[in-house]
Amino acid sequence: MADEASTARARELREHLERWNHEYYVLDAPSIPDADYDRALRELAELERSFPELIDPESPTQRVGAPPLDVFESVAHPIPMLSLDNAFSEDELAAFVRRICDRLDVDETPELVAEPKLDGIAVSLIYRDGRLWRAATRGDGTRGEDITLNVRTIRAIPLRLQGDDWPAELEVRGEIFMPRAGFEAFNEQARRAGEKPFVNPRNAAAGSLRQLDSSITAKRPLDFFAYAAGQHPDDGWPASHWEVLERFRGWGLPVSREARRVASLEACETYYREMEARRDGLAFDIDGIVYKVNAFAAQRELGFVARAPRWAIARKFPAQEAMTTLLGVEFQVGRTGAITPVARLKPVFVGGVTVSNATLHNMDEIARLNLHEDDTVVVRRAGDVIPQVVSVIEERRRENAPVVIAPQSCPVCDSPVERVEGEAALRCTGGLVCPAQRKASLRHFAARRAMDIDGLGDKLIEQLVDRGLVRNVADLYHLTQEQLCALERMGEKSAQKLLGAIEKSRQTTLPRFLFALGIREVGEATAVSLANHLGSLEAIAAADEDTLMAIPDVGPVVAAHVWGFFTSAQQEVVAQLREAGVTWPDVERAVDNDGPLKDQTWVVSGRLESCSRDEAEERLRGLGARTAKSVSGKTTVLLAGPGAGSKLAKAESLGVEVIDEAEFLRRVQAGAEG
């Protein structure tokens, strides 16, 4: 039985977690770091595991999903879920406003509420006694599917309403959607794994909700906004839509902050223009603006036609997807030799701009699309994301059209092309022999966040490489005024300026320098981490993969690339750069390597009771030890909890010392005291 203290602690944790959840998902204003949230959630899960009677179906721990269903049950909506009429122009919106004025027999436009039209999936949420009781899809408007288990995993949707002034039975309607960032990340991961990406965030949201196994839905980044009430008691109910939205907010339901009251056609138009301008910068897709008559009395008077209300209308934005023809596929070579196929398209107006190129990502994507020459394709451009080809209209394919195939050699330098196992990318093997790779690595080197060489733009790099003046980044430091002045569009003044910028870049910092080298998988954050933990370029260049993996954020892939870089011919360029006078101040190392466990390499594996593996590693590093992720001849000690498995076997076969958690705690204690 749970003692009083555990019961009270579980209640306290739940209250905290619910508040933090609300701050994060509904108010968009988190007050604590994610790690603190995770820690509290873990503590609560631990308590519930020890004392199952503490489990509460509304507990924040219950958002991980439930056992899979066989089918979704079909359920009836208490009130039909309607659709909206569309207006595609200002004139059509004006006609809507005129119609409502006529019907209401008024001269002035009644107050309207304008809201973004979210491009997601409509849902009905029924709350009974303030608890989420049932969630259903729209279906055919009369009956939908019961997706309660899936919806319960969405953290933006409260499992319990806040306050106590909600009706005993309340139906909330709104839209579930996948924010763009989550969608892009999900697709990126799917593409890397060779799996099928989603065509757009709306399909991603629909696909995620259609899972019979809610633990899958739980892993998808879904979000929600409430935009109307369905069934509700009339007693004490507000008189306007706006007030309902305010009540929703008070009950902890997320409501779009963009909703506004507007009182004239001009105000509608202004709002529309403003939202259209901001559309690309929003975190999620919207496909228009919904205008709703605010007063319920007026709504009742206006009523419905067929399946849509007369008191609301959707003014659509220009589409973010459009059809066009594929003119060809070009294979572009990047800094690391990765070859990216780019579709050349017949120009088409989509998402507010004219698009004539779209990324095809990699060969797997071309295969998935089953892309043939001259195909009719659907392109999508949303937000500031690069336009993409999302699907092919196979019915429109011309007869005998050849399929698009991968190049056998680099389209720029003709070196053989390789395909690395486990990677979707094709790579040119030419390295710095390949002018495309050379140009791209120069662009990266000169970038603002790398060596910050002002004035070294794309056009200039083209000329420098094509004329053979610069073969690698170190050659930049030997350019002369004369050489520069001989280039197109380069006067004496700009040549001098550029030389000045190159000169200035000689004084840099270690993280910038590391980032500028363009080592694969080493972004700015990793460069900072490497510099802070190893302190000098020499130490980084000398580090083996285990040492590298002991650094936070450095996994086996990054470690292999860093190690590979400094043991390859590329280190020659590093030497040339140093000879050319590129320098930086020393970096103070973040780790205390003079601790009692100095010179020891530890590996932590299996389950621990007193702390997580990460925390154990952190403590070990605090005492001067290095920590690694795999057991090798260099391992000093393996700390093995239950389930250590293959690492334990390896340590035993290599004769590495193996200790359990009790011994670990004893040594850490001794180390800390001594």
Element (H, E) at 179: none
CB 177 within 8 A of CB 284: yes
DSSP state of 257: T
Q: Which is nearer to ligand IVH, 75 or 118 (CB)?
A: 118
Identify the CA nearest to 314 among candidates 291, 295, 293: 291
Among 117, 439, 629, 647, which one carries the catalytic annotation? Answer: 117
For the bound state, the minimum distance from the C-beta of residue 299 to ligand IVH, rounded and expressed in Å, comes to 10
- As a whole number of angstroms, the distance between CA 507 and CA 512 comes to 10
Say how far residue 612 (Cα) sits from the centre of its chain.
26
Identify the CA nearest to 260 among candidates 371, 143, 142, 116: 116
Q: Which is nearer to ligand IVH, 143 or 419 (CB)?
A: 143
Contacts of 380 (CB under 8 A, 6+ apart): 199, 200, 320, 321, 350, 351, 387, 388, 390
For the bound state, the minimum distance from the C-beta of residue 154 to ligand IVH, rounded and expressed in Å, comes to 16
Q: Which is nearer to ligand IVH, 138 or 380 (CB)?
A: 138
Contacts of 11 (CB under 8 A, 6+ apart): none
Place of tokens 């902890």: 252
Residue 158, Cβ neighbours under 10 Å: how many? 25
- The amino acid that residue 357 corresponds to is N
- As a whole number of angstroms, the distance between CA 602 and CA 658 comes to 10
Cα dihedral across residues 106, 108, 110, 114: positive or negative: positive
Side-chain-side CA neighbours of residue 42 (13 Å): 9
For the bound state, the minimum distance from the C-beta of residue 55 to ligand IVH, rounded and expressed in Å, comes to 34
For the bound state, the minimum distance from the C-beta of residue 175 to ligand IVH, rounded and expressed in Å, comes to 5
Identify the CA nearest to 121 among candidates 233, 207, 182: 207
Residue 207, Cβ neighbours under 10 Å: how many? 17
Show the tokens assigned to 226. Answer: 């409430």
Q: Which is nearer to ligand IVH, 86 or 483 (CB)?
A: 86
For the bound state, the minimum distance from the C-beta of residue 284 to ligand IVH, rounded and expressed in Å, comes to 11
Side-chain-side CA neighbours of residue 115 (13 Å): 22
- As a whole number of angstroms, the distance between CA 25 and CA 16 comes to 14
CB 567 within 8 A of CB 655: no
- Applying CB under 6 A, the residues found at the interface with ligand IVH are 82-84, 115, 117-118, 122, 138, 175, 227-228, 290, 309, 312, 314
Chain residue at closest Cβ approach to ligand IVH:
122
Q: Which is nearer to ligand IVH, 76 or 486 (CB)?
A: 76
Q: Is 372 left (phi over 0), alpha (psi -120 to 50) or beta?
A: beta
Show the tokens assigned to 566. Answer: 């400094």
For the bound state, the minimum distance from the C-beta of residue 309 to ligand IVH, rounded and expressed in Å, comes to 5
Q: Which is nearer to ligand IVH, 117 or 427 (CB)?
A: 117
Show the tokens assigned to 475. Answer: 């050659």
Show the tokens assigned to 48. Answer: 């519930």
Identify the CA nearest to 365 among candidates 385, 386, 392, 396: 392
Contacts of 502 (CB under 8 A, 6+ apart): 453, 456, 476, 477, 479
3 state SS of 252? coil
Contacts of 432 (CB under 8 A, 6+ apart): 438, 441, 471, 472
User: Annotated catalytic, 439?
Assistant: no
Assign 3-state DSSP to the chain and report helix, strand, coil percentages, each to 5: 40, 20, 40
Q: Which is nearer to ligand IVH, 114 or 531 (CB)?
A: 114
Q: Which is nearer to ligand IVH, 82 or 101 (CB)?
A: 82
For the bound state, the minimum distance from the C-beta of residue 383 to ligand IVH, rounded and expressed in Å, comes to 18
For the bound state, the minimum distance from the C-beta of residue 86 to ligand IVH, rounded and expressed in Å, comes to 8
Q: How many helices (H) and strands (E) does the chain have?
A: 24, 24
For the bound state, the minimum distance from the C-beta of residue 226 to ligand IVH, rounded and expressed in Å, comes to 9
For the bound state, the minimum distance from the C-beta of residue 311 to ligand IVH, rounded and expressed in Å, comes to 8
Going by their DSSP bridges, the two strands 338-350 and 321-333 should be labelled as: antiparallel
Show the tokens assigned to 76. Answer: 């009836």
For the bound state, the minimum distance from the C-beta of residue 260 to ligand IVH, rounded and expressed in Å, comes to 12
The DSSP string of 416-448 is: BEEE-TT---EEETTGGGSHHHHHHHHHHHHST
Q: Which is nearer to ligand IVH, 146 or 418 (CB)?
A: 146
For the bound state, the minimum distance from the C-beta of residue 225 to ligand IVH, rounded and expressed in Å, comes to 7
Q: Which is nearer to ligand IVH, 169 or 258 (CB)?
A: 258
Active site residues: 117
